[in-house]
Structure 1
Amino acid sequence: MLDVSRLARDGIATIQPYVPGLTDDELKVRYGLSEVVKLNANENALGPSPLAIEAVRQEIQSAHHYPDGTSGLLRQAIAQFHAVSENNVLVGNGSDDLIKLLSETFLEQGDEVIVPFPSFSQYSFGAAIMRANVKAVPLKPDFTIDVEAMVAQVTDKTKLVYICSPNNPTGDVLMMDAAQWLLDRLPEQVVVVMDLAYNDYSLRADRVQETEALLADPRIAFIHTFSKLYGLAGLRVGYGLAHPDLWSYVNRVREPFNVNRLAQRAGVAALADAKHRQASIEHAQKGRAFYQQLASELG
């Protein structure tokens, strides 16, 4: 029998496929449960916005039509929400899609990617498919991201540096001054990706976030998701904010219909629902306070 490994591109065999957690249905069958509450996926306990649910109900009637290949309406809504130009916005099939697109755009075999460790696994996956080398920089003893150590790892082969804030899984928040310190010390060939998937849950006013000055720098990309705060994990939609010149190259490797109709409409509706957004933030804050109190009582 033919050994398929001989046909696969070099480096593919060393990639470990992502193994997601068991689904609700699988857990029910395996353990004989009628109800399941999963905490490991960081899903929104309140579910989607009622406006998003209604938008999906309406849009399903047009499922026989292809989606807008540019996600135009959603990009408009995101641009308005962040007070930026539509040209600053790129929409993806979840933030995972954007990470993969950035890898395909900027990495070649032998390039280097610097990531904090532990952090979101998809950064390393994007590097692996392009046969780039990952430099994982351990967190400090207090579990904060060691930006000084990350800068020290930069060489002329470094192409991407990832920062997750708040970091997944430790929750460390990168402050704006630390982010600026990092950016000021990186050479021009390095693209910095700030993953802000959980940024809305942070209480720190001085946390890193998009500014007009940062978006004017074509070396910086900020990525967001609708999976957490907006409760749309099952629809797979995320977005990035960056200088238009950066997206002009990423768009060359992006699939033309990468975000489905339902996800696009749900995203627009979710952004319009300020009440649900605030309720989701407050619910997470209450949960955090509860666990902090419980941990304190347990010593």
Structure 2
Amino acid sequence: MKLEDRVRPQIKAMMRPQHGGDVWGKGEILDYSSNVNPLGHPEKLNEYIVQASEGLVNYPDDSSLTIREAIAERYAVAVDNVLVGAGSAEIIRLFPEVFVSPGDKVLMPHPIFSEYGFGCRLMGAQIIDAPLSEENDFRPDMSELIALLNDVKAVYFCNPNNPTGKMAAKKEVLELVAAAAKKETMVFLDETLLELSAKDAQVSCVDSIESYDNLFIIRSFTKSFAMPGLRIGYSFGNKELINYMNAGRLTWNLGTVEQRVGAQLMRNEQNHVKKAVELLESEKVRMYREMSKILPYPLPNTDSYFFFCPLYQLKVKSPEFRRAMLERGVLVRDCSSFGSPCENYSRFCVKTPEMNSRFLEALQETVESLSR
């Protein structure tokens, strides 16, 4: 028997998800493909890391109690409502490991973050796509999602959506959760991009976790504190749900340094996030205004802090546009990995005023070169 004959069929059929932030080996470039805090990480992060690096001779606290307590305080929930992981990516993988069995149907809007489908396919799930209407600017239609919930084990929802940047109101999301509860369907709600939005408090469903036993919400330190190199993600659910997730997670999944640093950031650096939100709201308006002058067609606006820009009238696909911008020292997201029709779109995020001005220069040069 060959080695490949011993491998699970799900593994043999898998292709690794692609993401933004692929800056390695590209020299001096400015990265607009990764949706992180434009102010960078908090000034005291290195100090926190040095302090946290003492006493590493011992294994980490497997319960991650210190950081879970800090998260619970920040969101006014019980510690038992919180589960942490090595980035939201680990928690994304854990959810189907706990709740999805081979042959289960899992519903996802399309396009959406690729790690969800990757984790579900590894467990042998059947992915049911619910295409977001390009004609409706990719805005989610909850009634359409709800109509597809029959015989579905779980439904995924990203708010705001990655890559489209469109956001649903809290009332709409909870309508989906309530409808799914009646069908005994789990709801995986990704709010990792919401924390850098001015609408976070009014849109988040974290305060509803004890009202529904089918609602699971993830967030991350990566976006709000601009630290993808330190892997800290966290999640919320009612106590019974979190108990099941905790039973299935990897032992010592969060290192001592991450636990200590995460607790410090959660307790001491919320003003850093607030300043970033204020900057993003202001710069988003400027970016939209200036890009509307550069692009020879109307640019769809965004509910988030990144743009999902159509390329049809530039007569290029997403990979070609990425290469053209990269020639000018600017990295944008090639969206073709999200599947059709995303090969006709590019995603790029709002940064600081100086970086945004540099982006606008590169965009102007690229549009002019493509128009010749």
TM-score, with length taken from structure 1 = 0.91
CA spacing shift, 1:220–1:260, aligned 2, 3 Å: same
How many residue pairs match? The answer is 291
Q: CA offsets per residue over residues 148-173 of structure 1, 9 Å max, x none?
A: 221222222x1111110111111111
Q: Does 1:5 align with 2:10?
A: no
Assess if the C-alpha contact under 8 Å between 1:51 and 1:269 holds in 2: no
**Structure 1 outlier segments of 4+, above 4 Å:** 20-23
**Residues 33-48 of structure 1: matches in 2 within 5 Å?**
35-48=28-41
Q: CA offsets per residue over residues 254-276 of structure 1, 9 Å max, x none?
A: 01111112221221121121221
**Residues 207-286 of structure 1: matches in 2 within 5 Å?**
207-271=202-266, 272-286=268-282
CA spacing shift, 1:149–1:207, aligned 2, 3 Å: farther
| Aligned-partner residue type, residue 131 of structure 1 | G
| Aligned-partner residue type, residue 190 of structure 1 | T
The residue aligned with 1:15 is: 14
Secondary structure, counterpart of 1:229 in structure 2: helix
The CA deviation at 1:80 is: 0.3
Measure, in 2, the Cα distance between the counterparts of 1:5 and 1:225.
Answer: 36
The residue aligned with 2:53 is: 60
The residue aligned with 1:287 is: 283
Measure, in 2, the Cα distance between the counterparts of 1:64 and 1:287.
Answer: 45
Assess if the C-alpha contact under 8 Å between 2:85 and 2:91 holds in 1: yes
Assess if the C-alpha contact under 8 Å between 1:235 and 1:262 holds in 2: no
The CA deviation at 1:147 is: 1.7
**Residues 150-189 of structure 1: matches in 2 within 5 Å?**
150-156=145-151, 158-186=152-180, 187-189=182-184
RMSD: 1.9
The residue aligned with 2:142 is: 147
| Aligned-partner residue type, residue 116 of structure 1 | P
The residue aligned with 2:328 is: none
Measure, in 2, the Cα distance between the counterparts of 1:270 and 1:22.
Answer: 23
The residue aligned with 2:327 is: none
Secondary structure, counterpart of 1:11 in structure 2: helix
Measure, in 2, the Cα distance between the counterparts of 1:24 and 1:61.
Answer: 31
Q: CA offsets per residue over residues 12-55 of structure 1, 9 Å max, x none?
A: 11111124457434111xxxxxx221111223332211233211
Assess if the C-alpha contact under 8 Å between 2:109 and 2:129 holds in 1: yes
Secondary structure, counterpart of 2:251 in structure 1: coil
Secondary structure, counterpart of 1:95 in structure 2: helix
Stretch moving more, 106-115 or 57-66: 57-66
| Aligned-partner residue type, residue 161 of structure 1 | V
Q: Percent identity?
A: 29
| Aligned-partner residue type, residue 18 of structure 1 | P
The CA deviation at 1:250 is: 1.0
Q: CA offsets per residue over residues 106-149 of structure 1, 9 Å max, x none?
A: 00011011111111111101111100011111113221112222
The residue aligned with 1:31 is: none
The CA deviation at 1:293 is: 1.1
TM-score, with length taken from structure 2 = 0.74
Stretch moving more, 95-104 or 266-275: 266-275
Assess if the C-alpha contact under 8 Å between 1:52 and 1:265 holds in 2: no
CA spacing shift, 1:212–1:24, aligned 2, 3 Å: closer
Measure, in 2, the Cα distance between the counterparts of 1:213 and 1:196.
Answer: 13
Measure, in 1, the Cα distance between the counterparts of 2:79 and 2:21.
Answer: 38
Secondary structure, counterpart of 1:62 in structure 2: coil
The CA deviation at 1:283 is: 2.8
CA spacing shift, 1:176–1:183, aligned 2, 3 Å: same
The CA deviation at 1:287 is: 3.2
Q: Does 1:101 align with 2:94?
A: yes
The residue aligned with 1:32 is: none
Assess if the C-alpha contact under 8 Å between 1:116 and 1:146 holds in 2: no
Q: Does 1:89 align with 2:82?
A: yes
Measure, in 2, the Cα distance between the counterparts of 1:129 and 1:44.
Answer: 31
Assess if the C-alpha contact under 8 Å between 1:201 and 1:285 holds in 2: no
CA spacing shift, 1:205–1:273, aligned 2, 3 Å: closer
**Aligned with residue 72 of structure 1, among 65, 75, 84:** 65
Measure, in 1, the Cα distance between the counterparts of 2:18 and 2:159.
Answer: 23
Measure, in 2, the Cα distance between the counterparts of 1:261 and 1:286.
Answer: 37
The CA deviation at 1:83 is: 0.6
Assess if the C-alpha contact under 8 Å between 2:160 and 2:167 holds in 1: yes
CA spacing shift, 1:226–1:10, aligned 2, 3 Å: same
| Aligned-partner residue type, residue 111 of structure 1 | D
**Gaps in structure 1 of 5+ consecutive residues:** 29-34
